[in-house]
Amino acid sequence: MISVERVDVRVDKSTAQGERLALGRVRLFLGRNLGGYLFLLPALVIFALFVWYPLVLGFVMSFQSVDMINPAAWVGWTNYHMVFSDPLFAIAWRNTLAFTGYALLFGYVVPIVLALLINEMRHGRALFRLAFYLPVMLPPIVTAFLWLWLYNADSGLINALLGLFHLPGGLWLENQSSALPALVVVATWGAAGSTFLIYLAALQGVPASLYEAAEIDGSNLWQRIWHITLPTIRPIMLLMLVLQIIATMQVFTEPFTITGGGPDNATVTVLMLIYRYTFQNAEFGEASALGVILFLVLAIFALIYMRMTSRLMEAD
Amino acid sequence: MEDSSERTLVSPLVLRSPAGRAIYWTVFALLLFSTLIVFGPLYWMFSSALKPSIEIFQSPPTIWPLHPAWSNYVSAWNVLQYPLYFGNTVILAAGAVVLQLLVSATAAFALSKLRPAGKGIIQFIFFSTLMVPPVVYLIPQFVNISNLPLIHVSLINNWAGVWLPEAASALNILILKSFFDTIPTELTDAARLDGANVWQLFSRIILPLSRPALAVVTIFTVVASWKDFLWPLLVLFNPEVQPLSVAIYHEAGINSTYPLPFNYLMAGLVLASIPPILLFLLFQRQIIRGVNLTGLKG
């Protein structure tokens, strides 16, 4: 009995002490961290409300029937079935992938070559940088409508230039086979400048001593490009490849404003289809389902990108 | 500033030889010519804007208008209600800058200098979203904005509906954090010993020292906001609150009832391009540095 009492007393004492200790620890923890949490609070609230919540909501909505008037109802995989059975689904993906392919064809090598050449220039580098970056500054709506006018069949600049050389003009945007590549030209014109600047900066990081050593060893220009320049900027080249794929698969503004998806759905893209489901058919659930599919496809490229960046960071 | 001493692919010796010089100037001329791919369309925009309504549809077109109609700019200014939409665009950009700087700088400061417990998880919460382009949750975001959770407020037709989603920029946090990381800890430690509290540390030491990084973030936020189209198009139905790019689309787009004549449209486009071009000419250095910081965004 006595011993039990003693134990009880001891327990009492130790809990009191423990409480005091715990309280002190909480105070210490807060003293050390409260400032940090308060400073993180605005960003945490914003990210929770406007990134993570809609991201989760998108997955939930893709299994619901949502029209913003009636309460949302659970419909299982119906939205996905609807999306997959829509004849426009295949067309939109084919167009989007074709857009990405053309965009790489037009816009991947050109900035590299341009940066390589301009990096060799001893005059006018500032002018070239300005000239080729300028379109990036223009609002996409300006670029889109400007090119709509350049492509004009009768009074547009492009057919006028072709006319100067007695070449036949074309109905660039009205023709099913040329409409999509015509849009890729617009998007590339508007975006290639930033890629170019990134390569230009990367080229400045190639050590001059490597070139000198290679020259002493009797290498020619092509060998130097092939064995020194390109290997040095290869990490950036890989990154830009993935980033350009991710960016061009989100194409919307050009087809939406220039062709409206036509002619005969030749320029309907995935994002345009999402827009149509929502604002023409009020099918928010189907739009979310297609958004989830787009997310999954882009996630594959994002994962590749992350593996590359982590390898780059390790290399630093 | 030409750095002629710097060695690149081609050695200075080769450049000095007659053959080398001939090739150099040929490439230079070709590059100069290729700038026409940028300046040509821009010139066409400017000169088309000056053409009278008959001349603009002439085939083949004139290179420079026979009778330049400068009044087109005035008409575009009036038809497109420029003062209103310019104003809206500026307000949208200003709000974006204030909110994004506030949200990103505080978070970056906490992650870089205060390093509270759980920093790793919090960093993951922010930076994992770098990989998620906002268009994949475009529609749920729209639903979110039309009826915010818990408070049930709609931000449709409200500038806050554009500002708030944009404020979640992991890239800004990343840029500012890596800049803050370069500020030596000795400096912040010394200030702490002198009795500075956390807020003073942030506002009197870190922010003033980070002007170059803050400038880059500010300029890129302004440019991004000026270029923004899809999201304001969805959120801002009411013409009174729309930015320039949305207003131009509604005035001239395929779906507009009375599409704007091309000469007015071109004048309108020129007017809409002047502010970003001026911005570029003024802040070229910061923008070029910024592209290399933010460029990984693509």
CA distances from A40 to B164, B265, B283 (A): 16, 45, 30
- B60 has a chain A CB within 8 A of its CB: yes
Is residue A85 domain-shared with residue A55, that is, in the same domain? no
- B168 has a chain A CB within 8 A of its CB: yes
In a domain, residue A70? The reply is no
End-to-end CA distance of chain A: 69
Is residue A163 domain-shared with residue A204, that is, in the same domain? yes
A49 chain-B contacts, CB cut-off 8 A: 144, 148-149, 164
Q: Is the separation of the CB atoms in A267 and A172 below 8 Å?
A: no
- ipTM of this predicted complex? 0.89
**Domain CATH code at residue A236:** 1.10.3720.10
Contact B139 A58 (CB under 8 A): yes
pLDDT digit string (tens) for B196-254?
888 999 999 999 999 988 998 999 899 999 999 999 999 999 999 999 999 999 988 77
Nearest to A150 by CA among A138, A140, A162, A159: A159
Is residue A13 domain-shared with residue A159, that is, in the same domain? no
Q: pLDDT value at position A14?
A: 61
Strand partners, A74: A64
Is residue A114 domain-shared with residue A169, that is, in the same domain? yes
Site from A49, A229, A256 to mutate, B interface, most B CB atoms within 10 angstroms: A49
DSSP-derived 3-state class of residue A294: helix
DSSP-derived 3-state class of residue A64: strand
Least Cα separation, residue A139 to chain B (angstroms): 4
| d(C-alpha A268, C-alpha A288), whole Å | 18
pLDDT digit string (tens) for B153-206?
999 999 999 999 999 999 999 999 989 998 998 888 888 888 888 899 999 999
Least Cα separation, residue A90 to chain B (angstroms): 18
In a domain, residue A141? The reply is yes
From A61, A88, A109, the end of a domain falls on: A61
Backbone angles phi, psi at B67, to 5 degrees: -125, 85
Is residue A31 domain-shared with residue A89, that is, in the same domain? no
Q: Is the separation of the CB atoms in B122 and A44 below 8 Å?
A: yes
B45 chain-A contacts, CB cut-off 8 A: 146, 149
- A147 has a chain B CB within 8 A of its CB: yes
Q: Where are the alpha helices (DSSP H) in chain A?
A: 2-47, 53-61, 78-85, 87-107, 109-120, 125-137, 140-150, 157-164, 179-203, 208-216, 221-224, 230-248, 253-254, 270-279, 284-315
Lowest mean pLDDT among A118-122, B37-41, B131-135, B294-298: B294-298
Is residue A6 domain-shared with residue A39, that is, in the same domain? yes
Least Cα separation, residue A18 to chain B (angstroms): 22
Structurally, chain A folds into a number of domains equal to 2
Nearest to A139 by CA among B271, B246, B228: B228
Structure tokens at B269: 């486009």
Lowest mean pLDDT among A114-128, B52-66, B87-101: B52-66
CA distances from A66 to B147, B205, B268 (A): 13, 50, 39
Structure tokens at B22: 């001939």
Q: pLDDT value at position A137?
A: 93
Residue matched to tokens 């390589």: A116
Is residue A139 domain-shared with residue A283, that is, in the same domain? yes
Is residue A55 domain-shared with residue A92, that is, in the same domain? no
Q: pLDDT value at position A160?
A: 86
In this complex, the residue of A36, A43, A271 whose CB is nearest that of residue B116 is A36
Of chain B, the percentage scoring pLDDT greater than 90 comes to: 48
In a domain, residue A75? The reply is no
* Spans of all domains in chain B: 12-76, 82-297
Per-residue pLDDT band for B297 (boundaries 50, 70, 90) equals: very low
Structure tokens at A22: 């715990």
Q: What burial class does residue B232 get, using C-beta atoms within 10 Å of its C-beta: 0-12 exposed, 13-18 middle, 19+ buried?
A: buried
Q: Where are the alpha helices (DSSP H) in chain B?
A: 12-16, 18-34, 36-48, 71-79, 82-109, 119-127, 138-146, 160-167, 170-181, 185-193, 198-200, 207-209, 211-227, 230-235, 244-252, 262-282, 284-294
Q: Of B27 and A12, which is predicted with more confidence?
A: B27
Is residue A109 domain-shared with residue A193, that is, in the same domain? yes
Q: pLDDT value at position B294?
A: 62
DSSP-derived 3-state class of residue B42: helix
Q: Is the separation of the CB atoms in A115 and A195 below 8 Å?
A: no
Question: Which helix (H) or strand (E) segment is A65 a member of?
Answer: strand A64-65
Residue by residue, pLDDT tens for chain A (316 residues) are: 444 444 444 555 566 677 777 888 888 777 778 888 999 999 999 999 999 999 999 999 999 888 877 888 888 899 999 999 999 999 999 999 999 999 999 899 999 999 999 998 888 888 999 999 999 999 999 999 999 999 988 888 888 888 888 888 888 888 888 999 999 999 999 999 989 999 998 888 888 888 888 888 888 888 888 988 999 888 889 888 988 999 999 999 999 999 988 788 999 999 999 999 999 888 899 999 999 999 999 999 888 877 877 776 665 4
End-to-end CA distance of chain B: 28
Contact B135 A146 (CB under 8 A): no
Nearest 10 degrees: Cα torsion B12, B13, B15, B18: 160
Q: pLDDT value at position B4?
A: 43
In a domain, residue A113? The reply is yes
Put simply, the chain A residues between 186 and 215 with a CB less than 8 A from any chain B CB are 189, 194-195, 197-198, 201, 203, 206, 208, 211-212, 215
Sign of CA dihedral A113, A115, A116, A122: positive
Structure tokens at B37: 């791919």
- B109 has a chain A CB within 8 A of its CB: yes
Give the residue on A whose Cα is nearest the Cα of B199. A35
Q: What burial class does residue A75 get, using C-beta atoms within 10 Å of its C-beta: 0-12 exposed, 13-18 middle, 19+ buried?
A: middle
Q: pLDDT value at position A315?
A: 55
Is residue A118 domain-shared with residue A216, that is, in the same domain? yes
Tell me which residue range forms the domain holding A15.
Answer: 2-61
Q: pLDDT value at position A13?
A: 56
The CATH classification of domain B82-297, taken from the options 1.10.1040.10, 3.40.1190.20, 1.10.10.10, 1.10.3720.10:
1.10.3720.10
Structure tokens at A278: 């929502």
From A26, A61, A96, the end of a domain falls on: A61
**Amino acid residing at A196:** F
Is residue A57 domain-shared with residue A86, that is, in the same domain? no
Is residue A151 domain-shared with residue A244, that is, in the same domain? yes
pLDDT digit string (tens) for B138-167?
999 999 999 888 888 999 999 999 999 999
DSSP result, B61-125: PPSS-SS--THHHHHHHHHTTHHHHHHHHHHHHHHHHHHHHHHHHHHHHIIIII--TTHHHHHHH
Q: pLDDT value at position B298?
A: 35
- A288 has a chain B CB within 8 A of its CB: yes
In a domain, residue A302? The reply is yes
| d(C-alpha B25, C-alpha B132), whole Å | 45
Q: Is A264 left (phi over 0), alpha (psi -120 to 50) or beta?
A: left
